[in-house]
Amino acid sequence: MRRVPHTTARAKARGRVLASVAALGVVLVGCAADADADAGATPGGTPAPTSADAARPTGSAPTPTPDGTLLVADFGSDTVTFVDPRRGAVGSVEVGTAPYGLAVGADGRAWVATAEGVAVVDTRTRTRLALVPYETETGPVETGEYRGGGMGIALSPDGRRVYVGVNVPGGNGTLEVIDTASREVTATVPVGRRPFDVDVARDGSEVYATDHDSFDVTVVRADTLAPRRIEVAPYGTEGGLGSWLKPHYAVVRPSDGRLLLPFEGERLVVVDPRTGRSEIEPMTADTHQHGATITPDGRLFVVGTGPIDPDEDEGPWLTVRAPDGTERVYPLDGPHEDVAVSEDGRTAYVTGGFTRDGYWDGITVIDLASGETKRLAAGERPLGIAVL
């Protein structure tokens, strides 16, 4: 299924934003028109234990987590959930309020960005080892799309550092650097507003914070921690905090280290982080885009959360874009947020949490060859996802 992108998104979205601001008399923040919409969300059920866990004697060691298990951050709760990709949720670990992004190292430890700090989880034994508090003052611990605390998170290639984007409600965020050996924050770097995503250069020399509400990417040198800003606004910045047309997630292209940032299923912004120069390539899905990942062979996976305007836009979709720019678009049922891909590259896993007010408590599993999909229960409002 493919579509030719329309050319009126800038004018269409600008008209909606200006009309909304005039009607409400306030400036909206981020993607949602109502920051309190999360308060009415319905939580999901508690994940069931595996049969092996249920059978073992009290106090005995848990069954080691099999390779290929999925780990999701339960944004609607205070846990991460382990998901068997065939059967659904098999267990959970308490990590801290409203976990958002997560990153997993070669040692099997997951680093989870929550509203309270970065939790360290041993995924093999399913235990929380530590909670590293933020140096940044983020206000009261809260839940919902606009809560303060960690958002995007990534590990350095050598596994020695964790980089977490910390949201400060009403202001610019920070990038905090955590030493993985001492589990302490060693540096804090100013970045833009609401750092949705954090990525690291393949050689570890730079860190990239995608700053949703300031229309930019902050490039931070890993050695000096000197930041510089690159504006990424292919539709302009009109509408400010109320605009929908902002950067959300980025990936680092394996072939050349450039950043890829998808917008609205229409435009892919290709940023050279060394020079700050951007190029725009067309996309085909015509849907508001959020989560993204890229495989070693250069295939880009992008989650379309759904339409901005249901009368004109489409989705939600998952777009898979080949290195030559050809795309295949897979239909999704309902809102989704982020995506991960199996090690063999044959299956995609898309979380149903969504950062806005619409969501469901599970993931969609997509067979990329056939296009067949199935839904699995997976914690409460799952956002970040990784394949163990």
Domain boundaries, the chain: 9-387
Q: Are 81 and 363 in contact (CB under 8 A)?
A: no
- pLDDT tens, residue by residue, 327-386: 999 999 999 999 999 999 999 999 999 988 789 999 999 999 999 999 999 999 999 999
Position 254 scores a pLDDT of: 97
Position 308 scores a pLDDT of: 76
Number of other CB atoms surrounding residue 369 within 10 Å: 8
- Rounded to whole angstroms, how far apart are CA atoms 117 and 15? 39
pLDDT at 140 over 90: yes
Position 62 scores a pLDDT of: 61
Tell me the mean pLDDT in the region 313-330.
Answer: 95
- Rounded to whole angstroms, how far apart are CA atoms 373 and 371? 6
pLDDT at 267 over 50: yes
Mean pLDDT of all residues belonging to the chain? 87
pLDDT at 151 over 60: yes
pLDDT at 41 over 50: no
Position 241 scores a pLDDT of: 85
Tell me the mean pLDDT in the region 7-31.
Answer: 38
Position 61 scores a pLDDT of: 53
Q: Are 269 and 227 in contact (CB under 8 A)?
A: no
- pLDDT tens, residue by residue, 50-109: 333 433 334 445 678 999 999 999 999 999 999 999 999 999 999 999 999 999 999 999
Tell me the mean pLDDT in the region 14-37.
Answer: 36
Banded pLDDT at 313 (limits 50, 70, 90):
confident
pLDDT at 243 over 50: yes
Percent of the chain predicted with pLDDT > 90: 78
- pLDDT tens, residue by residue, 366-381: 999 999 999 999 999 9
- Rounded to whole angstroms, how far apart are CA atoms 145 and 29? 10
Number of other CB atoms surrounding residue 361 within 10 Å: 24
Q: Is 9-387 CATH 2.130.10.10?
A: yes
Residue 358 backbone class (left: φ over 0; alpha: ψ -120 to 50; beta: rest):
beta
At CA 234, angle to CA 230 and CA 236, rounded to 5?
90
Tell me the mean pLDDT in the region 203-210.
Answer: 98
Position 242 scores a pLDDT of: 83
Percent of the chain predicted with pLDDT > 70: 84
- Per 3-state DSSP, the chain is made up of helix, strand and coil in percentages (nearest 5) of 10, 40, 50
| pTM recorded for the entire structure | 0.86
What letter would DSSP give residue 368? T
Position 31 scores a pLDDT of: 55
- Rounded to whole angstroms, how far apart are CA atoms 359 and 204? 34
- What is the β-pairing status of strands 88-94 and 184-190? unpaired
Closest CA to 83 of 44, 130, 38: 44
